[in-house]
Amino acid sequence: MGIGHGTHKAGLLGGHSNGLARGTPDRIKSAAPGELMRLFVAIAPPPAVLDELDALAGPMRAGRPDLRWTSREAWHVTLAFLGQVDESAAARLLPRLESAARRHPAFRLAFSGAGAFPASTRANVLWSGLGGDREELAQLAESVAAGASSAGTPLPDRRRQFQPHLTLARCRMPADVTEIVAALAGHQGPSWTADRMHLVRSRLGATDQPRFAALASWPLRPPDPGPGPG
C-alpha cells in the first residue's frame, strides 16, 4: 500500500493538538444509544518527527509490498487500548484520563531502533521503538490503565507488558522482517516532547486502514523545573 511523502503533513491527531476536542463529551454523546466505540489512548508525535521516520521507511515499503504498511497520517504511540466501550463508560472515563494527565509532567522521547511481534522471523507486526524517558512513558500508561479500570473499562490486554512502539506495518501472514529490523537497529530519531495525550476512536472498515477520530485531548503537566543555582 502506497503512502504519501509530503512535508509536515498533519498526522493522526493534527500534530500535537490541532483540530482536537479538548475534553468535551459531545463527540461521545454523538454515538448511537447502546453503540460500542472502539477506543484507545495515545500520544501523537509532532509532524516533523513523523516526516523523518516516513522518509526512512520509504525505501523499505517499496521492497516489501507483501506487508500492510500503516498510513503515516495514522501514526501514534498507544498508551492503552481500551477495546469496545459504550457511551456511559466513556463518559466516566473522561475525568479519570484528565486527572491522569494532570499528574504526569511532559517528557522527552525519540524513535529508536525497531522490532517485531512476536518475533522478526515470524512477524505479525513490524514496529519502530522508542528511546528517551521510557520510565515516565510507562508510568503514564499505568495511570491510564488504572483510570480505565476505575471507570469500568479495564484494558483487554492488561496482563501484557507495556511495550512502547509505533506500528510501521502489519503482516497478513507471519513474515520474516529480520532484514528490516536490522536496517533500523541503529536508527536514532530526533528528540521531541510528549506533552499531550488523546482519547481516540477507531472505526474498522472495508479498507486495510482503520479511520481514527479524536474524542478528547488533555495536556500533561509542564516539566518539573530542575534544581536552582547552588
Residues marked active site are found at 76, 165
Contact 151, 93 (CB under 8 A): yes
Q: Helix (H, G, I), strand (E, B), or coil: what is residue 122?
A: coil
What is d(CA 85, CA 104) in angstroms, rounded to the nearest whole number? 25
Show the cell assigned to 41: 489512548
- With b for 16 or more beta-carbon neighbours within 10 A and e for fewer, the 137-155 pattern comes to bebbbebbbbbbeebebeb
Surface-to-core class of residue 31, CB atoms within 10 Å of its CB (0-12 exposed, 13-18 middle, 19+ buried): middle
CB within 8 A of 199, min separation 6: which ones?
Answer: 39, 40, 41, 90, 93, 94, 97, 214, 215, 216, 217
DSSP string, 130-176: EEESHHHHHHHHHHHHHHHHHTT---TTTTSPP---EEEEEEEEEE-
